[in-house]
Structure 1
Amino acid sequence: MVEIDACSSCLTALRVLRVSLVDELEGQIDSLLEVLVSQEVFTRDDREDVLCQPGPRARVRKVLDILECKGEEATKIFFTVRSHHQNPTSQCPSSDYNKVQQKHKDVLRRRSESMLFYNSRHGEKVLFSEHYVNLVLVDGHQGLENKRHEVLTFGQKRLLLQQKSPLQKKITPSQLFSRRTGKRPVKKVLVMGVAGIGKTVLVQKILFDFGGSNDYLSFDFVLHLNFRDLNLIDKPTSLRELVLRKNRHLVKELDRILANDDKLLIILDGFDEFRHYRSCNADVFVTEPEEEAGVTEILGSLLQGELLPNASVMLTSRPTAISHVPVGCIDRFVLIAGFSFTEAQDFFLRYFEDTALADCMFSVVSANELMLTHTYIPAFCNIVCCILKESKILGAESPKTMTDIYMQYLVALLHSHTQVRTEACLKDPKAGSIQQLSEDVLKLGRLAFQRLMEHQTLFYGSDRDVAALEGCSLVSTFLDKTIAQEPGCTEEVFSFAHLTIQEFFAALYCAVTDQPLPDALQSKANPAEHTSNGDLDLFSRFLSGVLSERNSSFLSRKVGLCCLKEKVELYRQKVITDLKMLCENGTHILNSLHCFFEQQDPSSASKVEPNMLRVNVSDETLSPMDYNAIKYFLNLTKGRIFELDLTGTGVNGDSLRGIQSLLPRCERLWLGDNNLDMDAIQVIADTLRVSDNITHLGLGWSNIADEELEALSNAIRVKRRLQELWMEGNRVSYKGLFSLSDLTPFPLKNIVAIWNDLYDPEPESLCSQESIAVNFTDDEMWDEWGKWVLQRCEVSSNEKLVTVLRNVCNTSIDCVEDQRAKTFYNQLSQLIKKRIECCTEDDLCKKLKKFESILNI
């Protein structure tokens, strides 16, 4: 309770303490008002004026305004009443409050008792308590970046989390709002995760546990708002009305619930699905639950603490949208990392409900690296289980590619959900039903394709394209449906069970119809000139896989849909042409490698035949699937690899060992901007001992020190083929450089060691070594290095650009006098200005402006 100075007048104290009094009295203003009336400080008219105000905080302000008009004596009585008036929220809750609380728990329990996440047959009830599998939650901001397609980066992210397990704190749902030692209370939590990783399941877990009165949730009430529902609201409303839309049972006690906001948890699920998520970081606020405004203003006020400042808020989102969250108000960032190996096994057991069968099926998955990788994502895990459940009927071989998995998933669900129709079609193709089945698949494909091109994942029942699905027997099989309630009406909201399923259906539609390829995939004279943001990467891979001879034949046999022959050959030729061009240009090639991999046509490799084989996959955090695609292509090629660029890809000892057989074929091997420990350096050293080809090695900003450099120098002496060693931005001292002194100027013609730990006086023996550069003083060196950096920056996303700038915009630029260096930093500054002009993400824009200011000092 706020105290006043006894020497101050009560009116002065009222003005000084006004802001704190609003906070203090918000939860007890109604009862305090009655006392003021009974003491004859306020009249009945005064009370009516106060009660007409929208919300408790506005009522407190009105009381204070009236007191100022009434003068010193009335204000003195107010402070006396206030000092003796107990806060009703500190008393035991009333019986009505307790009854409504129990009613709310019963409602939440009923709503969440069945699984909402996985497809099930119509009328089938899958109990949440029997099928929920624990999710791995990691505390801390992981800086997830949507570089190509967020699902594609997940495999490597998952592995990185496993490797960093001692450093990353894993938490349980019950710890989401627990105070961390020495830090402020946790009130606002952002839960991030890729599509299908379990964000909505985590929300259901919290609601289910609260409904079951689990003691670990120390809240009186948990309120759940879904952004799919909020999308339907296009007129001013209030937080009070938003809550009551699906919780009319709270109407009698809602004012007390909202006033007691320190015991309230509000869950906002699916921020990335909100139509207006880019507008929530605004500076227009509401402060009262009854105050009407747009949904974005209400949610922004709630997140930033202007509305219900003491309430706890949990926001879930895919990484694609988190840059639009006002992160300054977030107290805790949590990443959902999906299933661990053990939890994936648990999922299989719950899915098949038979220990022996589940073990058998999981052993099949464990033998297939592609399928095993996918089981870490719960939605994929469900897809794989569905395939295995129907595998005896399909008689299908083990899938080798992403398209194989989804093709088998399509057929598996057709068997599972339309078994009678499908069997009749397969026995008698002339029966006519197979034609209807194919038409239904095409209807879904058309919807998937059109909305993918519009970047939409939610489809409303009132939309014309959705209405065209009426009577389609496969809607409930592949689409999830929820009901969004509006006052006086309801709206059906559809989405594919998983984002990647929409992309698969879109590719299928494009492959079997005369639908032209999207503009972003049209053939270019030089594909390197077309920079993609990655939105259609997975679509193009699926399209390549569907148009392969093996899968187009499978599709024709199982579904009765035939790919257009001209498209099959056209796309095959496009993959070959693009791959050849990108190899020769040294431009980013990873997605083209995946398209080649999805085709599974070894004979195509001989048709690529680039004049110079360059494989650039830099600045992508590589997953096991990425390495598979790289190895598949390079194992089919012969001879020397002119360049392999793995800069900033997250490589380590294990991943380097996986491709070690390819490394000796490289002439130029770039491994910089990776955290290379001694284990990784040993793999590189072993490669140098046997390779007759490696002449250039890049290890800049890889965290190596003298010990690692000594291991490399010993390996270089074996073949003595290495001519250039780039290791800028590391921890090497002159002692480490001395281990290379006998290797200069032959074979090492050039050693770049700028921005290392070279603070001691330079040994005299190294002063004469022209091959060793500890500062950029050579024009040709600046040209080569600057060109490489600018190329990386031009093709990098804004988030990756910030990472590169942290390395190259170090303090040494303050003392750069070389004209070439000045030219380089001027070019870099111009590039940053262009990015700032089109940057829509406030946080990244601030970081880019910081680097611009550094360069312009």
Structure 2
Amino acid sequence: MSESSEIKDNVTTSHEDKADGSFSPTEPHMFKESESVEVHQQKRVASPVLSCVSMKSGASMDPPIKFQQEDPSLPADWIGSTANTRVSVQSNWSMDPPTNFHMADSVLEQPVELHTQSPRKTQMAAILRQLQRNVITFVKKELRKINSVLDSDLTECTESQPEGEEDGLEAKEAAVKITLHILKSMKEQSLFDKLLKFHQIDAYQKKLKSSLKNRSQCVFEGIAKQGNPSLLKKIYTELYITEGGSGEVNNEHEVRQIETTSWKPETQETQIKCNDIFKVLPGQNKPLRTVLTKGVAGIGKTVSVQKFVLDWAEGKANQDVHFVFPLLFRELNLIGKEEYTLEKLVHLFFREIEGFKLSNFEKYKVIFIFDGLDECRLPLDFRANVRCSDITEAVSVDVLLTNLIKGNLLPSALIWITSRPAATSQIPPECVDQVTEVRGFNDPQKAEYFRKRIPDQSLANQIITHIKSSRSLYIMCHIPVFCWISATVLEKMFGDKEISHIPKSLTEMYTHFLIFQTLQMKDKYRDLSDPHLTRDNILSLGKLAFQQLRKGFVIFYEEDLAECGIDVKDASLYSGLCTQIFREEFGLYQRKVYCFVHLSFQEYLAALFVHLQWFTTQKPSSDEFNIPFQDTDFGKLCMDSSLFDLHKSAVNQALESRNGHFDLFLRFLLGLSQERNETLFRHLSVQIGHTEHSSEDTVKYIKDKLGTSLSSERSINLFHCLNELNDHSLVKEIQTFLHSGRLSMEVLSNAQWSALVFVLLTSDEGLEIFDLRKFFKSDDCLLKLHPVVKVCQTAILSSCKLTKKSCPALASVLESNPSVLRELDLSFNDLEDRGVKSLCSGLRSPHCKLETLKLEFCGLRRDSCSALVAALKSNPSHLKELDLSCNNIGNEAATWLVGLLPDCGLETLRLSSCGITKEACAFLTSALSSKPCQLKKLDLSDNKLWDLGVGLFSGLLANPNCNIEELR
């Protein structure tokens, strides 16, 4: 073979062995089994024939290089029982450079031998030398990784693939395959099996990560198919997630829950990042297996799951997890009664890992994510379903899920379930290790979202300022979906100089959003020249929203659309009509699933349907209107009556609802009657005609209702209704009184009291501290302002002429979930034993997080202390300071309290002027010195202890069990 042909082929190169024992990289070097490693320092006989080994040739790999044991101190068990001691690939010595590759150093020092020194040959020599260095460096690096695999337990995750190194995957896999080939020829079967198993698992994991990354990296805000996707990493704003308590059912309307949460300050609740959802919190004694995350619709539960999955797939978080399987309940619904093994179910949704045996999962860390429990239509009968612990047993999906969640099936797997609050009761509490809650955006996160979402920062700041000017809009921005709706509308409107009025009410915002999406539809489907088509489509969607709202469904299927006269063949038209309002998604087997972008938009379209139908005909057909809202035939109330009667019946319906399920529907229905919204409908080619109706009658009716005994939640919603009707008179009256200092309890009407509560709750100044002394010192005032106390952290109620009449209301504050009250000062009020006993029912509640309780000079006696001790025993961990000074509790009660100290978290106990005598001193000092406790400050001043008591307490301070720092 000629030299030129060698270079031309570019796959073979002839090298003669060097005198120093270096070897050609294309010629496999053979060590005889009797030959020492010192052969590198001896001269070898030159090869008699030029060897040309093709890179594709099997001869280039077989036989493998044989390494002899150089260090006689190496343990023989590295190589099994073979007579010849070969260095194990497991050993650090064999993998750590330069011992395995010390030959390479001499190779790199020698130029590649070529018989001519032409420029081309010289350039080729340089390239080959660099190639030689790179190949050896690459092999060293990969062998170190392989060594770490063989030295470790395979259940430990290997290092993640750095972003941007995907191009080298084929070469890395080739390195593993070469190592497997060599191990097999070396007859190292156990190492071969171990590396092969790892390689297979690694390959499946990479395929799954690649697939999940493609699914999760983009977010379609409010839409699954249409529109331009955004990269999640660019627009993602961290959500406010907290430890969520007991997971008990909250049946309140979700917007009511959001508004209630927005009034409460951010307390010392534990905040959790979505990637730390399985992280054990301080005080927890065992690892978490099942986590239930609750949150209202559109609050960001699914996006949190998406971020968790994307960060895992990209190697940024949770790399101790081997496999993550996110599943949607809406897709699981479609399987029906067909039976599956757990392995078959996983392979059905994740075809990338078909062939991988689920039995292997017992050895690995696996997370199943079940998103959208509230959309589940499976029975999930945890009590009646048969027990299943065999992953090869085929059962219904319902049985699979209940056994997986209970831990009967694959107990090593971690489970994450997301749900709206109303559906959380489907999971038994004993099956859940931790409940978390997605609270949406707090105030800083709202601003962060708009600045990320809108590139023009000046415009973003303008929009943030406008949103803050409307309290109802700002509260709704706790919901990320509403932030997106607001950004969509306001970005366009602020950019249009011809638009003079920017929406400030909820109804206006949703109406503009509907118009914006409808105009997009007209641009997309220019052949839809008939304006009635738009109106009819909106009415059809409104009817669907109306009927499904009555049934309590937010997810619907083709049969639900057909029931409302929507041709499923035109589904794309409907999703195009409202692009991001009405989503068309594809589940398992490509069966279509439908939903509105958010529950609030479903309620808006339902109200729009009623409103438009009313103006279309004064006598709606029974098919359209004779549809009851739960047990009340709302349609019949509307027939043959004025628009005021329609609004009146809707107000009554909302007030009769215990949970506020018609609150938002009512707001939209009233807002749609305003002339400004009627003008906007012309953009929709909807002619609703002119009405002589004035909103004055409706406003008066609502104010009359505010004058009755309503809960704070109902009153708040009625004030939001007045905002939609553009009436702010009550609020302005109260603000005038507050600013002038002329607020008088005798002058305020019941409606004005409700207005005062609304103003205080929605104030921008916040309510961390509520001081009753700034208002009126009486039980009646406290009871009327009780909703305000419920959302503050500190309540100063001292010297306010309160009696036992106020205590049940304060107990309800402590029992509320979540309770944010941390300090309660009731000093110098005549509460007596009976009042304190009522208060103790709140102290016993697991929701109570009170840290400071001041009851100085409140007329307490022995019975009060008995109730306090019992309450602190049942809920011992939170109260840090208790002040009972100037109450005649006596010796016995004092001993009860001191005896409780080792079992509770009290750090400060004040018993000044409490009728304690020297007879109690011996017991008190003995109790405080016998067991360690957290007490640091003890005030026993102004008690008749005499010298004996003082001496005993002086000796107490020297006791090692005593932590008291201040003794009075």
What is the TM-score when the length of structure 1 is the normalising length? 0.61
* Per-residue deviation, 1:355: 2.7
Q: Tell me the residue number matched to 2:660.
A: 534
User: Could you give the per-residue CA deviations for residues 420-465 of structure 1, whole angstroms, max 9, x where no partner exists?
Assistant: 889x9xxxxxx96443322222221111111111211112235414
Which of 542, 547, 551 is equivalent to 1:445? 542
Distance in 2 between residues matched to 1:697 and 1:96, nearest whole Å: 69
Specify the alignment match of 2:393 in structure 1: 291
1:281–1:326: structure 2 CA closer, same or farther, 3 Å change rule? farther
Measured at CA, do residues 440 and 656 of structure 1 come closer, stay the same or move farther in structure 2, by a change above 3 Å?
A: farther
Distance 1:378 1:527, change over 3 A: closer
Where do residues 257-272 of structure 1 align in structure 2 (5 Å cutoff)?
A: 257-260=360-363, 262-272=364-374
Match of 2:233? 129
Indicate yes or no: 2:829 matched with 1:729.
no
Cα 1:656–1:546 change in 2 (3 A) is farther
1:145, 1:319 within 8 Å by CA — same for their partners in 2? Answer: yes
Q: Give distance in 2, aligned partners of 1:754 and 1:650.
A: 37
Tell me which of 560, 567, 573 is aligned to 1:467. Answer: 567
For 1:491, the equivalent position in structure 2 comes to: 591
Alignment equivalent of 1:458, drawn from 555, 558, 562: 555
Q: Is the counterpart of residue 316 in structure 1 residue 441 in structure 2?
A: no
- CA deviations on 1:784-837 (whole Å, 9 max, x unpaired) are xxxxxxxxxxxxxxxxxxxxxxxxxxxxxxxxxxxxxxxxxxxxxxxxxxxxxx
AA partner of residue 195 (structure 1): A
Partner of 2:274: 173
SS at match of 1:376: coil
| Matched AA of 2:309 | L
Partner SS, residue 482 of structure 1? strand
Q: CA deviation at 1:603?
A: 10
CA distance in 2: counterparts of 1:206 and 1:103, whole angstroms: 18
- Report the CA distance shift for 1:217/1:467 in structure 2 as closer, same or farther (over 3 A): farther
TM-superposed deviation, 1:508: 0.5
1:347 Cα offset (Å):
1.7
* Equivalent position to 1:509, from 592, 602, 609: 609
Q: Deviations over 1:340-361 (max 9, x none)?
A: 3333222212211233332332
Counterparts of 1:224 and 1:102, CA distance in 2 = 16
Structure 2: give runs of 5+ residues left out of the alignment: 1-188, 614-619, 638-648, 815-820, 844-852, 870-882, 890-968
Quote how far apart the aligned CAs of 1:216 are: 2.8
Q: How does 1:692-731 map to 2 (within 5 A)?
A: 700-701=810-811, 708-710=825-827, 728-729=838-839
Deviations 1:472-505 (A, max 9, x none): 441433112221123xxx2011111111111110
Q: Tell me which residue corresponds to 1:598.
A: 721
Q: Which amino acid aligns with 1:541?
A: R
Provide the secondary structure at the position in 2 that maps to 1:224.
strand
Of residues 749, 761, 767, the one that matches 1:654 is: 767
2:377 is paired with a residue of what secondary structure?
coil
Aligned to 2:218: 114
Shifted more, 357-366 versus 320-329: the winner is 357-366
- Kept in 1, the 8 Å contact 2:247–2:429? The answer is no
SS at match of 1:231: helix
Correspondence for 2:52: none
Structure 1 residue 247: deviation in Å?
1.4
**What is the SS of the residue equivalent to 2:255?**
coil
**Cα distance, 1:707–1:378 mapped onto 2, change above 3 Å:** closer
Q: Greater relative contact order: 1 or 2 (C-alpha under 8 angstroms, separation 6 or more)?
A: 1
After superposition, the Cα gap between the structure-2 partners of 1:193 and 1:91, relative to the gap in structure 1 and judged at 3 Å, is: farther
* 1:370-769 matched pairs, under 5 angstroms: 370-392=472-494, 393=496, 395=499, 397-418=501-522, 433-463=530-560, 464=562, 465=564, 466-467=566-567, 470=571, 471-472=573-574, 473-486=576-589, 490-513=590-613, 514=620, 515-516=624-625, 518-519=628-629, 520=632, 522=637, 523=649, 530-547=656-673, 549-562=674-687, 576-577=700-701, 580=704, 583-584=707-708, 586-588=709-711, 590-591=713-714, 594-595=717-718, 597-600=720-723, 639-641=747-749, 654=767, 669-670=782-783, 671=785, 680-681=795-796, 700-701=810-811, 708-710=825-827, 728-729=838-839, 736-737=857-858
Verify the 8 A CA contact 2:325 2:368 in the aligned structure 1.
yes
**Counterpart contact for 1:386–1:413, Cα < 8 Å:** no
* CA distance in 1: counterparts of 2:418 and 2:476, whole angstroms: 22
CA–CA distance in structure 2, aligned partners of residues 228 and 357 of structure 1: 38
Worse-superposed segment, 700-709 or 119-128: 700-709
Correspondence for 2:62 = none
Deviates more, 1:376-385 or 1:694-703: 694-703
Change (3 A) 1:601 1:120: closer
Shift, 1:511, TM fit: 0.9
Structure 1, residues 717-742: CA drift from partner, whole Å, max 9, x if none? Answer: xxxxxxx9999426999962359xxx
- Unaligned ranges ≥5, structure 1: 1-84, 425-430, 609-623, 717-723, 740-751, 765-857
Give how far 1:305 is off. Answer: 0.1
Relative to structure 1, is the Cα distance of residues 601 and 406 closer, same or farther in structure 2, using a 3 angstrom cutoff? closer
1:65-84 superposed Cα distances (whole Å, 9 cap, x missing partner): xxxxxxxxxxxxxxxxxxxx
Superposed displacement of residue 653, structure 1: 8.1
The alignment yields a C-alpha RMSD, in angstroms, of 5.0
Q: Which residue identity is paired with 1:654?
A: L
SS across alignment from 1:169:
coil
Matches within 5 A, 1:174-193: 174-180=275-281, 183-193=285-295
SS at match of 1:390: helix
> CA offset at residue 583 of structure 1?
3.6
Amino acid at match of 2:313: G
Larger Rg: 2
Structure 2 equivalent of residue 208 of structure 1? 310
Sequence identity percentage: 23
Residue 679 of structure 1: CA displacement? 5.1
Q: Does 1:101 align with 2:205?
A: yes
Contact 1:705 1:733 in 2 (8 A): no
Query: 2:375 maps to what in 1?
Result: 273
Q: In the superposition, relative to structure 1, how do residues 754 and 501 fare at CA in structure 2: closer, same or farther (>3 Å)?
A: farther
CA distance in 2, matches of 1:290, 1:236: 15
Is the Cα–Cα contact under 8 Å of residues 579 and 592 in structure 1 kept in the other structure? no
In the alignment, what sits opposite 2:912?
none
Task: Provide TM-score, normalisation by structure 2.
Answer: 0.55
Task: Give the aligned residue type for 1:542.
Answer: F
Q: CA 1:577/1:371 → structure 2, altered by over 3 Å: closer, same or farther?
A: closer
2:256 — aligned with what? Answer: 152
1:348-392 Cα shifts (integer Å, max 9, x gaps): 122112333323322332333333222222111111111211214
2:481–2:598 CA contact under 8 A, matched in 1: yes
d(CA) in 2 for partners of 1:126, 1:653: 35
Structure 2 distance, partners of 1:602, 1:454, is: 28
Q: What's the CA shift for 1:108? A: 0.7
C-alpha deviation, 1:560, in angstroms: 3.6
Greater shift, 650-659 or 455-464, is seen at 650-659
Q: Which residue pairs with 2:948 in the alignment?
A: none
The 1:638–1:447 alpha-carbon spacing in structure 2 relative to 1, beyond 3 Å, is: farther
Alignment of 1:369 with 2:471, yes or no, is yes
Residue 503 of structure 1 aligns to which amino acid in structure 2? E
The 3 A distance-change label for structure 1 pair 560 and 496 is same
- Mark the CA change 1:711 to 1:560 in structure 2 (over 3 Å): closer, same or farther: farther
- Provide the rounded CA distance (Å) in 1 between the counterparts of 2:668 and 2:679: 14
Does the C-alpha gap of structure 1 residues 573 and 282 become closer, same or farther in structure 2, counting only changes over 3 Å?
Answer: farther
